[in-house]
Structure 1
């Protein structure tokens, strides 16, 4: 036999002997690239093939250390786990437009409360990530029991393990180094998880996330340096300087009624479907209120709870998971606490389970005197996930009438919650061609809630409550999941949508109604939920401390910063997951200028400051220093 034939025979035997590893690597690589395409159909960064391939090599290398049968079990199990992780990631992305993190898993028990929302995201096509494990299962036992001519020695196993492992690590290290050079804080702050996943792949992202989670917990067990604490305190002091006196103290001594409306987005305002207004009651109240038409939701993994958290504390959402869980034991300088210092009675009202989003704990930390949850209401009618908005708002008025004035009442509605599948409860509202679509169902749901809000506001008027109350209404987050966004674009007649266009539809209404319809008009300042507390602090003449937002009535800034790292200054819009800048007026992509780069770096630091505030409970430290 010739040398060439011997070499060919060895190669053939090597391939046959390691067919399971080769098949595993090919399947996992395919799944990871398919996932990358799903989370970025319009922008698949092909450079991701290298770190994805490297991560597969690293996983496969460990199998080289096992005997044949054990190796088969290892590869099969890892394949199944990765498939399930990818399905979870895809479902999480559909709802939150983000990647699942270790910290986010702390919220998994919430899924029992919104099971209909979760199951509506399941698509049979997503099971492509595990279908191979079902197909391969009958062959697993047969392949494991197949007689083998060649068995590797312990030395060979270690050599092959090291060869494959080091190759994978080397490729990965190069990819990670490129990211660290391009955006130095991205790997540690993970402020832009989608973009990071596109650059290094899903497996590497989860490895980095797990490392950061562990190292952050270790790091947070240690005190921040005094220099870092001083740096954060100095930043907050500068940010909270009073810059103007427009409407300063205008609402001082008056009741404050804040209504956070589930999934209320701006695109539904002043719009018609089949010739009928979608939100006729809110439209009416907008005309006699101060209305902010460039107001964005800024929620992250905590979704509805993040909207509450930002609006009441002007702190950014947690980097992962929900602040309402992770930081419920912290001390806060909340809106409720400051109003209590001004002799206000404070109460939160929501017709759902008290423990959902940990509200029963968090509202105490935010200094609400009372929380009226599900058990404080007569659940006599259900629409959507629970107590109907009609019954909730009717019963809430009766409670408001018993509150000692002045009071701050924070109400959270429920009926218009995704997936908007209670067509019977929503009543008869003709959505024409959008019937039986997510958009059409949403329009029915928000039309129902608008009707209940209209009756609630009219009753407040009739009871004379509006004469001595400031009423604030805003939406908490998106209504249409990103996977269904084309339905919204069709409704809005949007052609050739891009990331800028997507962001422009992530606005929610902010309505502030003054007694006697004073100060009505439209304010075009760019803002978000982080800015509500500072704005109300101005209106109620409250101290401004430890806030990252701005007073919308007295600021020259149009900054809106998102947890993902995206931001706008009113002229340009930075989309973090593609690292792209847009000119808002023209819609064109523009190059990064020194000024924009400086803002991006400054805003990344700002997110880090907020994280340190939460991780180290700094408000407690700051307040302690005040008392000395």
Structure 2
């Protein structure tokens, strides 16, 4: 026994030595990082090799970074190790919080654009944070206490420089070994992947940070080196994948107003969904199934790190958000775009965006100028917008915001293109009691269960605006478009998702379909129905422009008209996964799209070939879109019939905006107010918002006619096949 104790003492590090303290620090950094990997992130680790790499990858950078302190002596070395530990821990902690909300890791661009997203963020963080998150700081506190109480004494002896150097070299070699093993298991890890989860899983969180910094600088250099000829192969790719115009729909809505509703965090499953027999969104359900509504039930969000900003980018420009950060923030100010507002402005439209928060959010005040918006009605335009009771989460409550927005809509010269960005249905899905009209779901997940309550509030807000449109006469002259920007409930809540879907568990196939969001187009006289074509947000721009009779044949944009007869029906996701009408790739697995049957492409040569061709198409599309964004390639090309946008022509200051409204009213007599003998139509706008004197909401109970099922109810409707031909059938909700 004595020999065992002696052996332990011989090999057990002396924590009173600098080297001993270093080894202890490395161990603690490794321990908490590995713990976070296993408990705070969903990295999709499978197999013993990936488990080994995950176990290994926190060690190299811990050795390299903490090893810096070994080049110093005494107290400096000890406190430097604590400081380095603290910096790494703050980075780990920040990613834990960010990942919980966005299923992704922080990037340099996201941090640099913090000003665009930090407004009202504190409330979200309060909802995101968990007590166990703070455990990552525990080792630092313990080490400081041990040093201050002199349980661990500071070793004033200098560590040999040779030992310090060898330690650094060992850490680098260990990192290279890990990278070598990782590259064999995942070829092209740093050259082909669009998913940050892979980099963290294989290499580590700190290595991801270094890679991201490198990629960010590389992107900046790309723009400097870009030239006009870089656009040639991209234009050819777009031309090769162009679609035919649908003769039934092309130009059908020419000259009509376009009113686009941005439905924050609104997912497709909410359509026809019930809680205890009560419809969550009865007004949207009715609108969805209207005979003059085109609804797309296989429509997916395709956002990346930019989330809402990425959705706007795709809808307005036909370009994807970039692989890292928000393209609106990183490129919106300086890049050249040929966006929907500019195209329609040059067709005689007035263009305006409405948002109940500050103009700088997601850099909208600059990006919208690049897109050619005549007006941007942000928070300063609305009466008492800073009233605390008028706001929740990320801006003004939807009912109050939409009523205020209508005051400016009625002053826009027609035809106009107006985008209304709702925000109340945003995480953390809090709503004051007086506005709640439906029970929470009962998944037991606090993050999830309030979601239906804010979705119901959004539904009511939309109905109030729609009723005003009908009373004022605007409804009959307008094409109304609704889209969900991205998921509301992250796939990091699989147990809750399963309960919402009525399943015992969910797999990757279910989570892929969880990315569906609504896309709805309505106009009086429009041949409607539920269209089952597979598409996504990148396809909205050509679809809308074609309905308005504007050709996109010469545009550099990557979408395909959802009503086209020869569209590919391939939906790329930002991380390189995809869905097609035949097969699906999601989370490293492959499925038959219509059945969910998991398949192995290697077992069938035909399937393998189709999947490889689809993957090549998706990779090329994402890469080319990134090239356009990062190289600002559209500065080298102006389509026929398009005039380059001059950003200096636009100002979104309230005084300038109000002045422009008056000037335009004198030049044109086409506003809604003009058509009512210069009288406001706001008397027709009725809201029950309690903040404005309306009756507070009460929880709605299911009537005897309501089903007790939590699934969507079947509703008679017409469906539209992929060729655009209407057929009678029954559309069943999610």
* TM-score, normalised relative to structure 2: 0.79
- The match for 1:206 among 200, 206, 209 is 209
Matches within 5 A, 1:415-494: 415-431=424-440, 433=442, 437-494=446-503
- The match for 1:51 among 37, 49, 57 is 57
Task: Choose 492-501 or 138-147, whichever is displaced more.
Answer: 138-147
How many residue pairs end up in the alignment?
Answer: 617
Matches within 5 A, 1:359-398: 359-378=364-383, 379=385, 382-385=390-393, 386-398=395-407
- Say if 2:176 is the partner of 1:170: no
Structure 1 equivalent of residue 122 of structure 2: 115
Q: 1:475 touches 1:510 (CA, 8 Å); kept in 2?
A: yes
Matches within 5 A, 1:452-601: 452-516=461-525, 518-544=526-552, 545-554=555-564, 555-575=566-586, 578-592=587-601, 593-601=608-616
Find the aligned partners of 2:75 and 2:279 in 1 and give their Cα distance: 66
Gap change, CA 1:426 and 1:476, over 3 Å in 2: farther
| Per-residue deviation, 1:347 | 0.7
Gap change, CA 1:133 and 1:50, over 3 Å in 2: closer
- Give CA deviations for 1:378-408 in whole Å, capped at 9, x if unaligned: 2376152332211222233332222211111
Find the aligned partners of 1:456 and 1:80 in 2 and give their Cα distance: 51
Find the aligned partners of 1:436 and 1:232 in 2 and give their Cα distance: 45
Task: Choose 39-48 or 315-324, whichever is displaced more.
Answer: 39-48
Structure 2 equivalent of residue 278 of structure 1: 280
- Give CA deviations for 1:248-280 in whole Å, capped at 9, x if unaligned: 111111111111011211111101112211000
| Per-residue deviation, 1:471 | 0.6
- Give CA deviations for 1:193-249 in whole Å, capped at 9, x if unaligned: 1122111111211121122222332343223483x3322222223233536434111
Task: Choose 413-422 or 432-441, whichever is displaced more.
Answer: 432-441
Structure 1 equivalent of residue 300 of structure 2: 296
- Say if 2:303 is the partner of 1:320: no
Structure 2 equivalent of residue 358 of structure 1: 363
Find the aligned partners of 1:387 and 1:29 in 2 and give their Cα distance: 44
Gap change, CA 1:467 and 1:208, over 3 Å in 2: same
Unmatched segments (≥5 aa) in structure 1 = none
Counterpart secondary structure, 1:515: coil
| Per-residue deviation, 1:141 | 4.0
Q: 2:494 touches 2:505 (CA, 8 Å); kept in 1?
A: no
- Give CA deviations for 1:14-33 in whole Å, capped at 9, x if unaligned: 77632111111111111221
Find the aligned partners of 1:32 and 1:65 in 2 and give their Cα distance: 25
Q: 2:560 touches 2:567 (CA, 8 Å); kept in 1?
A: no
Q: 1:176 touches 1:200 (CA, 8 Å); kept in 2?
A: yes
- The match for 1:614 among 629, 641, 649 is 629
Q: 2:628 touches 2:634 (CA, 8 Å); kept in 1?
A: yes
Q: 1:270 touches 1:277 (CA, 8 Å); kept in 2?
A: yes
Unmatched segments (≥5 aa) in structure 2 = 602-607, 645-734
| Per-residue deviation, 1:62 | 2.8
- Give CA deviations for 1:464-497 in whole Å, capped at 9, x if unaligned: 2222211101111111234444223212212231
Find the aligned partners of 1:122 and 1:147 in 2 and give their Cα distance: 35
Task: Choose 587-596 or 248-257, whichever is displaced more.
Answer: 587-596
What is the alpha-carbon root mean square deviation over aligned residues?
A: 2.8
Find the aligned partners of 1:7 and 1:449 in 2 and give their Cα distance: 69
Gap change, CA 1:70 and 1:319, over 3 Å in 2: same
| Per-residue deviation, 1:549 | 1.3
Counterpart secondary structure, 1:623: coil
- Say if 2:618 is the partner of 1:603: yes
Counterpart secondary structure, 1:317: coil
Counterpart secondary structure, 1:53: helix
Structure 2 equivalent of residue 130 of structure 1: 137
| Per-residue deviation, 1:553 | 0.5
Counterpart secondary structure, 1:89: helix
| Per-residue deviation, 1:335 | 0.7
- Say if 2:64 is the partner of 1:64: no
Q: 2:147 touches 2:154 (CA, 8 Å); kept in 1?
A: no
Q: 1:344 touches 1:407 (CA, 8 Å); kept in 2?
A: yes
- Give CA deviations for 1:553-594 in whole Å, capped at 9, x if unaligned: 11432211111222111322222xx43222333434322424
Find the aligned partners of 1:10 and 1:440 in 2 and give their Cα distance: 56
Structure 2 equivalent of residue 80 of structure 1: 86
| Per-residue deviation, 1:181 | 5.7
- The match for 2:220 among 204, 217, 237 is 217
Find the aligned partners of 2:639 and 2:320 in 1 and give their Cα distance: 22
* TM-score, normalised relative to structure 1: 0.91
Q: 1:189 touches 1:608 (CA, 8 Å); kept in 2?
A: no
Q: 2:258 touches 2:479 (CA, 8 Å); kept in 1?
A: yes
Structure 1 equivalent of residue 98 of structure 2: 92
| Per-residue deviation, 1:184 | 5.5
Gap change, CA 1:399 and 1:181, over 3 Å in 2: same
Structure having the larger proportion of residues in helix = 1
Gap change, CA 1:32 and 1:519, over 3 Å in 2: same
Structure 2 equivalent of residue 306 of structure 1: 310
| Per-residue deviation, 1:446 | 0.8
| Per-residue deviation, 1:98 | 0.6
- Say if 2:421 is the partner of 1:412: yes
Q: 1:186 touches 1:192 (CA, 8 Å); kept in 2?
A: no
- Say if 2:253 is the partner of 1:242: no
- Give CA deviations for 1:126-175 in whole Å, capped at 9, x if unaligned: 111112111221222455983759654xxx422x2333333332332243
Q: 1:111 touches 1:118 (CA, 8 Å); kept in 2?
A: no
Task: Choose 191-200 or 580-589, whichever is displaced more.
Answer: 580-589
Q: 1:315 touches 1:610 (CA, 8 Å); kept in 2?
A: yes
Find the aligned partners of 1:29 and 1:590 in 2 and give their Cα distance: 37
Find the aligned partners of 2:326 and 2:390 in 1 and give their Cα distance: 27
